[in-house]
């Protein structure tokens, strides 16, 4: 077994040497990368997981039919190609050949069918099950082909088949252990090696990976250090190679650390607040518009995020593959006062903002906004709300006037807007219902042409900006600090970590 | 003595049972639904309802409690909602680091505290005493997390002697465990040492003024014997009380210290479970802490009897 692996490795190395262009430098292989994490992974079954940190680790172990590039274009992964019928309802996937699960078995069409049926089974408890209900039938004409028929065309369908939420898993492993939480088996570049609660999760190279020569690393160790400052101390001391959380106020100082590089890229994260349209004062359109006119977004965003955030007009950030155009609500105190009179509040109004958590950035947003609103005669009380209480009071009971929130999901307008602003949306906390916007959001999901979708969503967003059910603050950059020995690491806009192409010196 | 300990153990069982009802009730009164929070950004109401049903969270309180009790009676502590791992395994993994940290801190606290306290009393009002008292006062005033950050800064970042964070199991490497435990145990232990020192100092001073000490000295006993045999034994009683009482602080401090130094112990597990509303883990962790706490107090009581011949429990 071990000898076989050595022989295989020797062959690969020999091939690499032979295939290198003259004068080319051999790729460094081997070594371990240590990543600093604040939170332990939770449920690591790919159809049950929910936590962002868990996915950051496990997207290296599991893959879906499709993948994505750094611009969020859909790319082939376990499916090497696909065709879509003219009515947009029938997808025929050709599977990549020679893909093996980590248990050594070849991946075939039946595994795709099994995996999607598992997601669709309510007993699994998959978070994306509502999205998958667009699937009508799954057929496997031969072991390398999968045909999926949808109930209606769905623009996001290919994008939702990635390894983040729709991993292809082997049935026999699920049936042996009940789920994949204790014994993860996927097709990814790394295999799951071990974990110890609140200590580490360790992945090791998958020697059977189908991309020749990859991955480069022998091991990736995710080390769990809950304290932000301790995490940074670890990076400085050289015992951690990569860290992705740092106190915003320390960024500039940290960027000067010798031997450490700072990388950043636009992400899918947008911070915003809901205005409850079912409650005074925000049940009045002019009262919501007055608030939008009274705030100076650029100042708020600078105070909270410095160079990490950009003001944004809507929930759809610039990383969206669908390029929408939308103008923000006009800002001006005179306009705000006029709108207040129109709403019947000539002396302004008072409301309470529930801030989710109490992070320094949330505090900065709330306090800067509070001072700005004061100038227009609007009094805002701030209540910092622990996530559990927020979940009950704001999310479940809709018992609030205004509440901050954030979203890091895929930046496609359908993902960002439908659940929050469609009258049937699962988390429409603003209680917003505009038939015209509903119709546009329904239409945008079914259009296949990107230009048409962009036009549809731009129209919807113009209406949403006028109606102010939400006030978007900022789109954020995702950043990491890496030690200089790390090479080939690229930031993913969805904030996942892919280490397939990463090397250490 | 045996009867006393037996009675106390029976009492312990009752207290733990009562606490279990209270904990179970209070946890469910806490706002926040573990499932909706677990789903994070996209708590689709339909999915939330389905998973609640899977975990039987839709049942009334008394039914949930009965289900849980029946499970515990069979020796099964249940499954964590968020990690889907057995609670017994999670607590088992977390227990070692915490017990190790607490014992190391206790050792540091008692050794440093008692030594400093005796010296300060014997050399009363000299420079040594003043220095020890000032340090003790500082130890009581400085919050443990601040001391922890200070220690990391000096010994890990500036001097690079010790790792700033992390944990190595002693079964893997004793030296590794000691290197990782040194700073957290000192951070936690020094604070314990400070209050122990002050109690020992006043205890020794009080005993030194007693008649039997004068008698012992008058008999011509060597000072070493006087202090060792008569003074210390009597002065230890308040110190033991102090340490017993401080076990609560020690457990509380361990939660904070574990967070700073990334030690995967019971404190961390409890804290994480509170924020996630992970009821099954939280129930068992709190009961565990309650049991440890009561046992520690019992231990302190038994120690009195061993030290002070006037105390008898029968």
Whether the per-residue pLDDT at A14 is higher than 60: the answer is no
pLDDT tens, residue by residue, A294-319: 999 999 999 999 889 999 999 999 99
State how far residue A429 is from chain B, nearest Cα, in angstroms.
Answer: 12
**CA-CA distance, B189 to B209, in Å (whole number)?**
30
Give how far Cα A147 sits from Cα of A94, A138, A447, Å: 9, 6, 21
Whether the per-residue pLDDT at A25 is higher than 60: the answer is no
CB within 8 Å: B40 and A51 = yes
Max mean pLDDT range (A13-27, A153-167, B129-143): A153-167
CB within 8 Å: A391 and B39 = no
Residue A354 DSSP one-character state: E
Give how far Cα A360 sits from Cα of A115, A355, A408, B256, Å: 41, 11, 18, 20
- Write out chain B residues lying below 8 Å of A129, CB-based: 44, 47
Whether the per-residue pLDDT at A470 is higher than 90: the answer is yes
Whether the per-residue pLDDT at A9 is higher than 60: the answer is no
CB within 8 Å: A50 and B167 = no
Nearest to A467 by CA among A440, A419, A434: A434
Identify the segments of chain B with pLDDT beneath 70.
Answer: 42, 245, 248, 308-309, 311-314
CB within 8 Å: A408 and B39 = no
Whether the per-residue pLDDT at A393 is higher than 50: the answer is yes
- Who among A123, A230, A386 is closest to B260 (CB)? A230
Q: What is the pLDDT of residue B309?
A: 66
Residue A183 main-chain phi, psi, to 5 deg: -135, 75
Average pLDDT over residues A35-53: 90
State how far residue A265 is from chain B, nearest Cα, in angstroms.
Answer: 22
- Among A37-46, A47-56, B144-153, the range scoring the smallest mean pLDDT is B144-153
Note whether A157 and A414 are within 8 A (CB): no
Q: What is the pLDDT of residue A432?
A: 97
- Write out chain A residues lying below 8 Å of B42, CB-based: 127, 409, 419, 426-427
- Among A1-15, A228-242, A287-301, B225-239, the range scoring the smallest mean pLDDT is A1-15
Q: With H, G, I as helix, E, B as strand and everything else as coil, classify residue A88.
A: coil
CB within 8 Å: B36 and A43 = no
CB within 8 Å: A237 and B164 = yes
Size of interface A-B (CB pairs under 8 A): 144
**What mean pLDDT, rounded, does chain A reach?**
91
- pTM to 2 decimals? 0.80
**CA-CA distance, B297 to A46, in Å (whole number)?**
46
Letter string b/e over residues A273-311, b meaning 16 or more CB atoms within 10 A of that residue's CB:
bbbbbebebbebebbbbbbbbbbbbeebbbbbbeebbbb
Note whether A342 and A281 are within 8 A (CB): no
Closest chain A residue to the Cα of B153, Cα to Cα: A233
State how far residue B18 is from chain A, nearest Cα, in angstroms.
Answer: 26
Q: What is the pLDDT of residue A402?
A: 97
pLDDT tens, residue by residue, A356-372: 988 888 999 999 999 99
Place of tokens 């020796």: B75
- Who among B32, B41, B163 is closest to A388 (CB)? B32
pLDDT classification of A26: cutoffs 50, 70, 90: very low
Cβ-based neighbours of B209, under 8 Å, separated by 6 or more? none
The residue among A126, A127, A223, A271 with the most chain B CBs within 10 A of its CB, best to mutate, is A127
CB within 8 Å: A391 and B94 = no
Closest chain A residue to the Cα of B39, Cα to Cα: A50
pLDDT tens, residue by residue, B249-282: 777 788 788 888 888 888 888 888 888 888 889 8
- Write out chain A residues lying below 8 Å of B154, CB-based: none
Note whether A222 and A200 are within 8 A (CB): yes
pLDDT classification of A7: cutoffs 50, 70, 90: very low
Cβ-based neighbours of B44, under 8 Å, separated by 6 or more? A127, A129, A130, A419, A426, A427
Q: What is the pLDDT of residue B52?
A: 86
Residue A83 CB neighbours (<10 A): 10
* C-alpha atoms less than 13 angstroms from C-alpha of A330 in its C-beta half-sphere: 6
- Who among B83, B160, B275 is closest to A43 (CB)? B83
* Tokens of residue A498, six digits: 């892919």
Note whether B265 and B258 are within 8 A (CB): yes
Q: What is the pLDDT of residue B216?
A: 80
Q: What is the pLDDT of residue A27?
A: 52
One DSSP character per residue, chain B reads: -HHHHHHHHHHHHHHHHHHHHHHHHHHHHSSS-HHHHHTTT---HHHHHHHHHHTTTTS-HHHHHHHHHHHHHTT---B-TTT-SBHHHHHHHHHHHHHHHHHHHHHHHHHHHHHHHHHHHHTTTSHHHHHHHHHHHHHHHS-HHHHHHHHIIIIIIIS--S-SS----TTT-HHHHHHHHHHHHHHHHHHHHHHHHHHHHHHHHHHHTSHHHHHHHHTT--HHHIIIIIIHHHHHHHHHHHHHHHHHHHHHHHHHHHHHTT--SHHHHHHHHHHHT-HHHHHHHHHHHHHHHHHHHHHHHHHHHHH-TT----
State how far residue A374 is from chain B, nearest Cα, in angstroms.
Answer: 31
CB within 8 Å: B157 and A239 = no
Largest Cα–Cα distance of chain A, in whole Å? 83
Structural element, H or E, at residue A140: strand A135-142
CB within 8 Å: B94 and A224 = no
- Write out chain A residues lying below 8 Å of B40, CB-based: 50-52
- Based on its alpha-carbon atoms, the radius of gyration of chain B, rounded to whole angstroms, reads 24
State how far residue B138 is from chain A, nearest Cα, in angstroms.
Answer: 24
């Amino acid at each position: 077994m071990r000898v076989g692996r050595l022989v295989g490795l020797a062959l690969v190395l020999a091939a690499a040497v032979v295939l290198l262009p003259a004068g080319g430098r051999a790729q460094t292989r081997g070594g371990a990368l240590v990543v600093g994490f604040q939170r332990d992974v939770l449920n690591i079954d790919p159809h049950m997981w929910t936590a962002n940190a868990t996915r950051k680790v496990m997207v290296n172990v599991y893959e879906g039919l499709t993948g994505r590039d750094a611009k969020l274009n859909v790319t082939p992964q376990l499916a090497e190609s696909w065709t879509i019928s003219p009515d947009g309802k029938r997808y025929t996937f050709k599977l990549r050949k020679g893909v093996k699960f980590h248990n050594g078995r070849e991946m075939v069409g039946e595994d795709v069918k099994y995996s999607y049926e598992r997601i669709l089974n309510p007993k699994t408890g998959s978070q994306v099950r509502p999205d998958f209900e667009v699937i009508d039938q799954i057929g496997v004409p031969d072991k390398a082909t999968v045909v999926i028929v949808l109930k209606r065309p769905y623009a996001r369908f290919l994008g939702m088949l990635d390894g983040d939420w729709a991993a292809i898993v082997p049935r026999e492993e699920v049936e042996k252990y009940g789920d994949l939480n204790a014994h993860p088996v996927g097709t990814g570049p790394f295999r799951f090696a071990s974990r110890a609660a609140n200590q580490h999760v360790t992945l090791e190279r998958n020697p059977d990976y189908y991309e020749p020569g990859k991955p480069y690393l022998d091991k990736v160790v995710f080390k769990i250090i809950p304290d932000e400052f301790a995490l940074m101390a670890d990076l400085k001391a050289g015992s951690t190679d990569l860290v992705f959380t740092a106190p915003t106020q320390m960024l500039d100082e940290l960027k000067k650390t010798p031997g450490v590089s700072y990388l950043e890229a636009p992400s899918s994260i947008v911070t915003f607040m809901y205005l409850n349209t079912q409650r005074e004062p925000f049940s009045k359109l002019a009262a919501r518009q007055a608030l939008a006119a009274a705030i100076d977004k650029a100042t708020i965003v600078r105070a909270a995020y410095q160079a990490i955030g950009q003001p944004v007009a809507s929930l759809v950030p610039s990383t969206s593959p669908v390029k929408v155009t939308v103008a923000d609500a006009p800002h001006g105190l005179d306009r705000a006062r006029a709108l207040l009179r129109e709403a019947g509040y000539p002396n302004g109004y008072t409301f309470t903002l529930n801030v989710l958590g109490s992070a320094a950035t949330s505090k900065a947003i709330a306090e800067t906004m509070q001072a700005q609103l004061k100038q227009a005669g609007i009094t805002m009380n701030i209540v910092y709300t622990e996530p559990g209480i927020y979940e009950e009071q704001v999310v479940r009971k809709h018992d609030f006037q205004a509440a901050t929130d954030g979203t890091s999901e895929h930046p496609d307008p359908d993902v960002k807007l439908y659940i929050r602003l469609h009258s049937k949306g699962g988390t429409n906390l603003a209680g917003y219902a505009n038939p015209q916007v509903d119709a546009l959001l329904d239409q945008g999901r079914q259009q296949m042409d990107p230009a048409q979708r962009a036009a549809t969503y731009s129209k919807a967003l113009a209406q949403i900006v006028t109606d102010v059910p939400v006030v978007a603050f900022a789109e954020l950059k995702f950043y990491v600090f890496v030690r200089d020995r790390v090479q080939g690491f690229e930031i993913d806009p969805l904030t996942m970590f892919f280490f397939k192409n990463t090397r250490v010196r | 003595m045996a009867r006393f300990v037996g009675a106390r153990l029976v009492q312990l069982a009752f207290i733990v049972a009562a606490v279990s009802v209270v904990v179970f009730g209070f946890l469910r009164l806490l706002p926040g639904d573990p499932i909706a929070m677990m789903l994070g950004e996209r708590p689709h109401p339909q999915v939330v309802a389905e998973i609640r049903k899977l975990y039987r969270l839709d049942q009334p309180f008394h039914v949930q409690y009965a289900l849980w009790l029946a499970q515990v009676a069979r020796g099964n502590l249940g499954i964590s909602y968020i990690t889907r791992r057995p609670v017994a395994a999670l607590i088992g993994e977390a227990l070692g680091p915490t017990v190790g940290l607490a014992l190391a801190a206790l050792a540091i606290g008692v050794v440093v505290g008692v030594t400093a306290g005796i010296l300060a009393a014997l050399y009363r009002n000299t420079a040594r005493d003043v220095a020890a008292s000032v340090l003790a006062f500082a130890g009581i005033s400085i919050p443990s997390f601040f001391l922890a950050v200070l220690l990391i800064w000096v010994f890990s970042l500036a001097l690079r002697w010790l790792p700033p964070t992390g944990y190595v199991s002693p079964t893997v490497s004793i030296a590794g465990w000691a290197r990782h435990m040194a700073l957290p145990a000192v951070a936690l232990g020094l604070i314990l040492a400070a209050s122990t020192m002050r109690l020992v100092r006043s205890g020794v001073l009080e005993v030194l003024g007693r008649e039997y000490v004068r008698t012992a000295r008058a008999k011509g006993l060597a000072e070493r014997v006087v202090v060792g045999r008569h003074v210390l034994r009597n002065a230890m009683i308040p110190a033991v009380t102090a340490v017993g009482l401080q076990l609560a602080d020690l457990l509380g401090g361990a939660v904070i210290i574990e967070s700073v130094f990334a030690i995967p112990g019971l404190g961390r597990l409890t804290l994480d479970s509170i924020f996630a509303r992970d009821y099954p883990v939280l129930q068992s962790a709190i009961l565990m802490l309650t049991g440890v706490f009561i046992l520690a107090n019992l231990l302190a009581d038994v120690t009195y009897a061993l030290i002070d011949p006037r105390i008898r429990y029968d």
